[in-house]
Amino acid sequence: MKLLFSRFVLLLIPIFISACVSNQTPQTPKISHVHIGHAMTGWKTTPGKQGLFIIAEKEAKVAAEYSDLILQSKTLQSAKENAKHVLHAIDPKLAQASSGTGFGFAKALSEARDHIQYAATSPDTSENINNKSIIFSKHVDELLSKNALITDLGNEILASNNLGEALILAEELNSLVQLNLNGDSTQGELGMVQLREQIQKMIDNEVPAYHPVEERFLFGLVRLPSGIWKFLDNADANKSLKELYEAY
């Protein structure tokens, strides 16, 4: 009888372990890490739900590519067409073009900065995130401030009646666009390349370690009128934002 009981218990052990494993849920990530994820992994309003900083990088590369092409233009018309692509990459409202993601460098980068700042002000943030977010935001503001000059130069090229004049304007535009992408170590100016390195260092220095955030957490975080960030759960799934706000 004891032998039969022992065999019965042994048979139950794997079933019990399996049930425990199947009922486990992923650990809820830190809210500060979710905001970093919005910048680097995914955001619900971007094309393909890509990270905001990732979109900004893509647009910066498109602007750099077409600013180079302006300088190679043999006609005024081609110079203007390439200038439209640069302006569209900076902000799609500035010009019609088929290149880029259609989201815009300025919007993507400013929103990426916002989410890094949200990470820094989250209740579970670290000193690492807090310190590095200040430096990151400062350099982002410097990049965004160049957009006004890039926009003015691009519009002047579009209004130009002379290829030689357009190419002179294009040289200055190209310098600013390339600076936004690659920075200038001799002047201590950071571009998107260096900003990515900053974010990566911040991520690498996180304790506990930062891990890519699951989609249900990444897109399930909402900010209530009280300022509190909350993960949506199954009970919230069918509620409107108004109902959520009233409930919390």
- State residue 29 phi and psi, 5-degree precision: -75, 165
Which of 33-37, 50-54, 60-64, 230-234 has the weakest average pLDDT? 230-234
The candidate with the shortest Cα–Cα distance to 142, out of 197, 66, 85, 195, is 195
Distance from C-alpha of 116 to C-alpha of 35, rounded to nearest angstrom = 6
- pLDDT for 19: 35
pLDDT above 60: residue 33:
yes
Question: Pick the residue with more confidence: 130 or 23?
Answer: 130
- pLDDT for 185: 86
- pLDDT for 188: 86
pLDDT above 90: residue 246:
no
| pLDDT, average across residues 183-210 | 94
- pLDDT for 245: 43
Distance from C-alpha of 6 to C-alpha of 12, rounded to nearest angstrom = 10
Q: How confident is the model at residue 6 (pLDDT cuts 50, 70, 90)?
A: very low
pLDDT above 60: residue 64:
yes
- pLDDT for 227: 86
Q: What pTM was computed for the model?
A: 0.84
- Percent of the chain clearing pLDDT 70 (strictly above): 83
pLDDT above 60: residue 74:
yes
Distance from C-alpha of 127 to C-alpha of 118, rounded to nearest angstrom = 14
| pLDDT, average across residues 43-67 | 97
Distance from C-alpha of 227 to C-alpha of 205, rounded to nearest angstrom = 27
Q: How confident is the model at residue 26 (pLDDT cuts 50, 70, 90)?
A: low
- pLDDT for 8: 37
Per-chain mean pLDDT for the chain:
87
